[in-house]
Structure 1
Amino acid sequence: AWSMVSRPAYVGGLGFGLKWNMGWMHDTLVYFSKDPVHRKFHHNDLTFSMLYAFSENFVLSLSHDEVVYGKGSLIGKMPGDDWQKFANLRLLFGYMYAHPGKKLIFMGGEFGQRREWYHEESLHWHLLKYPPHQDLQRWVRDLNHFYRSEPAAHELDFEPGGFEWIDCGDSEQGIVSFVRRARTTKDIILVICNFTPVVRHGYRVGVPMGGFWREVLNSDAEEYGGSGQGNFGGLEAAPVSFHNKSHSLSLSLPPLGLLYFKHDRLG
């Protein structure tokens, strides 16, 4: 791949503002296409992108290239029964929005079009009369609102200071956790992803400070078509060292689900 695409011409770059991250798209879709029981053997596909995430101003693209010519739709790539397919797709979108980089979803993916895209016909908008598709669209709507309204979600998309792994190595249980930070505020967003269909109760995650951590988004909420597993709106960090942090949270992780927590600086 050509380097320095999004770097200024005066330093030898091509001068473009953004570059599609095709490596992230390929590796992430390979990971998500695996049955969860096999994902632990492909954990590197999920985390490898962070080794080069700040080498360009990347756009995380789920583009038309992956939903044409027999490749199937996004929802069609997801393993499992219908409930698991939608849970996986909500998890994919949630992970995408939390990962550094700008976001691009090709039309139809946001409501779970089941057939791959075809240029000779319209999108299958009629699917929105069915609850699973309505719920998925509602999830993407709320992700968009969160991404725009929370500085920690977008301000440092292109700078290493906006991202920190908490734990990227729990391949056996299929879980990753990290934090996002802002430039203009001291807000911190904690993200935990469970890539298996197993509910994890009492799962401990280190956090950078004590206080109350409010659960602000949960892909498994019933309003998005999930099973309703969660943490009752948030919880207080305990002074228990974990993951090289002074405090930690004992969480309930939903199946094939993702949680966003925001540290409550007023709590």
Structure 2
Amino acid sequence: MFRAELLKMTTVGATKVAAAVGVLGLLTTQLVFVWLLPALSSGAIVIDGEPGIAAELGGVFDRASFEFQYSALSLLGGGASAGSLGFSVIAVLAIGVLAATTDYRFGGIVGAALASPRRGRILGGKISATVVVTAATAVAYAIVSVGVLLASTIASGVDLALGWGDVLSEMSRGIAVLILLGLLGLAIGVLVRSQLAGFLILIGLVVIEPIMHAVLQIVGGAPIWAQFLPLALAQASLADPGSGAVLSPVIALVAFVAIVGAALTAAWVALRRRDF
């Protein structure tokens, strides 16, 4: 089942488009937050001969600082603005939804069930294929993030404040988080079966959760339960372990694994009990 599911995912054009959009979206985001905004902040780029933007930013984007360089490595996109989410997240969620719903859309799920009546084996094949495809996409993300950061530091003449251990740690956790996001998308797709419904849910997830966090911060601070929502856990998993955050990256990653595991369990139960 793994080979069959992997073949389906790698030959469907929508999967390739999702991965390409994610890579190009991350590249664009990183160029803006790691290259353009620091250049505007430092006054290296002046618009219409006026240093107004540089004065407003006031050196906030300091390419030489450890914090800036660490946040610039985030595979979720957003560069130094760690609170933003972009195409990189949507793309891996979409890959998971596509892995789950393509069979339902084109009727392939019936053939899969005839070839392997055990529903758990069908889901296991989809999980394995999704892990491979999202891991390959995440590696491409890692190359983009590290490449843009190195190019930015070299071009601006600043030293790399990060150790290679920091880079490896951030990239490893980033790849793990993206794989988990892909599996979350897979679980959503299996539960709803409809490709349109799956995409509407993931768009709602990506849009509504950040808005809810912003509203909670305005009205008095986010409660503890808000830190255990999927996207919040994904971002917390990529934080600097030495930053002293309330929710450490290890705890956040473990909690995220638990949420994705629960979603996949629910998908397995639904797959076993429903008719195709």
Which structure has the greater CA radius of gyration?
2
The TM-score with structure 1 as length reference comes to 0.34
Structure number with higher strand proportion:
1
The TM-score with structure 2 as length reference comes to 0.33
Structure number with higher helix proportion:
2
